[in-house]
Amino acid sequence: MHAITRPAYEEEAVPAGTAEGGASSASVPRAAAAPIAARASAPSVALARTVAWLGMAIPRLLWAALSLGLFIGAWHLATEYRLDFYIRFVNVPGPTEVLGNFSDMLNTSRYYEHVWFSMRRILIGFGIAAALGVLLGLLIGQYKPVRNLLFPVFEVLRPIPAIAWVPMAVMLWPTNETSIVFITFLGSFFPILLNTIHGVGSVDPVLVRAGRCLGAGEAALLRQVILPAALPHIFTGLAIGMGVAWVSLIAAEMISGQYGVGYFTWEAYSLIEYADIVVGMITIGVLGLACSGAIRLVGNLMMPWLPASAGGGK
Amino acid sequence: MTEAISKGHIVIDHVGVRFGRNASAVDAVTDVSMEVKPGEFVSIIGPSGCGKSTLLNVVAGFVNPSTGKATLDGKPVEKPGVDRGMVFQQYSLFPWMTVRKNVEFGLKMQGMGATHREEAARTLLGLAGLLSFENHYPDQLSGGMKQRVGIVRALATSPQVLLMDEPFGALDAQTRVVMQEILTNMWQRFRISVMFITHDIEESIFLSDRILVMTARPGRIKAEIVVPLPRPRTPEMIGTPEFGALVQQLRALIREESLAAMGGELKDGGLGGFEIDVGPKGMAELV
């Protein structure tokens, strides 16, 4: 959105260091020494930018408030008057009821237990998927034999949605917990793997050549040239993978869980605690948003060379 | 002034390169023999597609010759290595590393410790007048600066030879002139052998001790021009009659090859017959 453009220093102030090498070249007219001036004005540029950003941010915040206000207002009216026109708001809890339940819920340890279980499953499942997906993606992308051996299997397994694995996962793994983690892993593994492979494929060949010329062996090339060059694609894969991980987790928890926000939401329906359904939904949304935000943050930290808004995929 | 230089002797011995197989095979280079003596600056010039870059890639170790061999100081070239520094036409700095980390990369690969690396890189960047940009990322630099960093990075591992593949081809004319001057200055300081690929006649004269002109594909060495201009070279020399005569000589040599490269049958003077009655319809067909 508000990409920070770095100043590209204008060509071409010839340095004093090289000028003394050829003494007679001193009379050549030089281009202006612009770079230093560009940096001196940086604070005022930053100030102007902040003001401009505020100017854009305030109306945007107002629009956001209006948009959300309308949505909640409509929700309130629909539930208040128990609208029933094919879509039925008869049993749907209103915003005030949900808010009340939410604040009650925040005071119970049970709520945090559910959140913790879901987060732990995400961390383990997504973590393993990230490690394995990036590693295998690098190897498959870089080495033909590995690709020939592994890729067909992945191509066959990939179209099967993670949810379809639930019965199989329950049979495969000793506990419900591990099978839910497995489902979460499966959901995020393929986007991460495929984006990594794609990232390796789109590494500029001249960078690889430069690496080889500078004495990089196979391992160094993979770790220090191909991996960082593929990072932007990898982070796109991680961002998508995180989204799919949550989809898979919630479905798995609803089907076979005993804890977790997905289970909580389904349980609320079974127990006719309708307001808690919405509490669960909002919780899931917030947690998903926080996890995607974390990916973007890590992406920006790991790729400081990219313009700020481009890091961390979409 | 010049101490005896014994290293950096490139010999290309009856090298031919054929791409593809059977009927679709293309000879990029046929039977080229040449050498770059230790400390010598040699340019190879020719029409585009004549295989001059291929020849450089043989010396770099990226392309295996189909016939003949290339050696550096008597050792056959088999794969890329730090004894041959390479500067590419495309910007090839690692965008995720700062300028200094880019320069340090080759030293890091050699296992040099972090503090020594940093010291060496800072010294070199200082020589090239780039020290104040050591913590910038490549995308924050102009094209000319990127190529300067590229040259510094190639020199950091103290190679015996510098292989340059149209390094200033992507730069604008003014920047290019400044870069040529910087390069001659640096070359004079480091005194290493340079094999320089270009299609710019003035550039090759200004920089080189010797210029080799290649034919259109399949590339062979067509002529060798020794540049008698004294060192250090200065931009004022470009205006001298001596320089002008060399330009004329090279232009004539290359013109024949460019015509051959363009059409085969488009011989000199054949361009005169290129007047076609171009109506609106004819134009569309031509385009």
Closest C-alpha among A153, A151, A137 to residue A237: A137
Interface test with B, best of A6, A10, A18 (most B CBs within 10 A): A18
Q: Mean pLDDT, to the nearest integer, of B104-133? A: 93
Instruction: Kindly state whether residues A132 and A164 are assigned to the same domain.
Output: yes
User: Does residue A34 form part of some domain?
Assistant: no
User: Does residue B231 form part of some domain?
Assistant: yes
User: Does residue B137 form part of some domain?
Assistant: no
The model's confidence at residue B1, banded by pLDDT at 50, 70 and 90, is very low
User: Does residue B21 form part of some domain?
Assistant: yes
User: Does residue A27 form part of some domain?
Assistant: no
Rounded Cα–Cα distance for residues B55 and B76 (Å): 15
CA distances from A49 to A46, A308, B172, B185, B237 (A): 5, 15, 32, 42, 48
Tokens 């001196």 identify what position?
Answer: A40
Rounded Cα–Cα distance for residues B102 and B92 (Å): 10
Q: Could you tell me the residue range of the domain that residue B251 belongs to?
A: 10-83+159-268
User: Does residue B191 form part of some domain?
Assistant: yes
CATH number for the domain including B221? Answer: 3.40.50.300
Say what the pLDDT of residue A241 is. 97
Domain boundary residue among A60, A92, A124?
A: A92
For residue A133, the SS3 value is helix
Q: Average pLDDT of chain B?
A: 86
DSSP string for B109-135: HTT--HHHHHHHHHHHHHHTT-GGGTT
Say what the pLDDT of residue B220 is. 87
Tell me B219's DSSP state.
Answer: B
Instruction: Kindly state whether residues A260 and A187 are assigned to the same domain.
Output: yes
Q: Do A9 and B178 touch (CB under 8 A)?
A: no
- Report the residue from A8, A12, A303 with minimal CB separation from B175: A12
User: Does residue B101 form part of some domain?
Assistant: no
Tell me A223's DSSP state.
Answer: I
Instruction: Kindly state whether residues A61 and A125 are assigned to the same domain.
Output: no
pTM of the model: 0.80
Q: Is the dihedral of CA A70, A76, A78, A80 positive or negative?
A: negative
Q: Do B92 and A207 touch (CB under 8 A)?
A: yes
Q: Do A11 and B174 touch (CB under 8 A)?
A: yes
User: Does residue B258 form part of some domain?
Assistant: yes
Q: CB A5: neighbour CB atoms within 10 A?
A: 8
Instruction: Kindly state whether residues A76 and A208 are assigned to the same domain.
Output: no
The model's confidence at residue A59, banded by pLDDT at 50, 70 and 90, is confident
For A254-305, how does the pLDDT look when each residue is reduced to its tens digit (9 = 90+)?
Answer: 988 789 999 999 999 999 999 999 999 999 999 999 999 999 999 999 999 9
User: Does residue A292 form part of some domain?
Assistant: yes
For A14-43, how does the pLDDT look when each residue is reduced to its tens digit (9 = 90+)?
Answer: 343 333 333 333 333 344 334 444 444 556
At B10, which helix (H) or strand (E)? Answer: strand B10-19
What SS3 string covers A67-127?
HHHHHHHHHHHHHHCCCEECEECCCCCCHHHHHHHHHHHCCCHHHHHHHHHHHHHHHHHHH
Say what the pLDDT of residue A215 is. 93
Say what the pLDDT of residue A71 is. 96
User: Does residue A306 form part of some domain?
Assistant: yes
Instruction: Kindly state whether residues A120 and A247 are assigned to the same domain.
Output: yes
- In DSSP terms, B41 is beta-bridged to B194
Q: Do A31 and B234 touch (CB under 8 A)?
A: no
Instruction: Kindly state whether residues A76 and A221 are assigned to the same domain.
Output: no
User: Does residue B90 form part of some domain?
Assistant: no
Which of A31-40, A305-314, B83-92 has the highest average model confidence (pLDDT)? B83-92
Say what the pLDDT of residue A97 is. 93
Instruction: Kindly state whether residues A162 and A281 are assigned to the same domain.
Output: yes
Instruction: Kindly state whether residues A215 and A148 are assigned to the same domain.
Output: yes
Q: How much of chain B exceeds pLDDT 90, in percent?
A: 60
Q: Could you tell me the residue range of the domain that residue A201 belongs to?
A: 95-310
Q: How many domains does chain A have?
A: 2
For residue A41, the SS3 value is coil
Position with higher pLDDT, A36 vs A197? A197
Instruction: Kindly state whether residues A259 and A226 are assigned to the same domain.
Output: yes
Instruction: Kindly state whether residues A173 and A271 are assigned to the same domain.
Output: yes
Domain boundary residue among A52, A77, A92?
A: A92
User: Does residue B128 form part of some domain?
Assistant: no
User: Does residue A259 form part of some domain?
Assistant: yes
Instruction: Kindly state whether residues A188 and A140 are assigned to the same domain.
Output: yes
Say what the pLDDT of residue B157 is. 92
Instruction: Kindly state whether residues A225 and A103 are assigned to the same domain.
Output: yes
User: Does residue A293 form part of some domain?
Assistant: yes
Nearest residue in chain B measured CA to CA from A203: B94
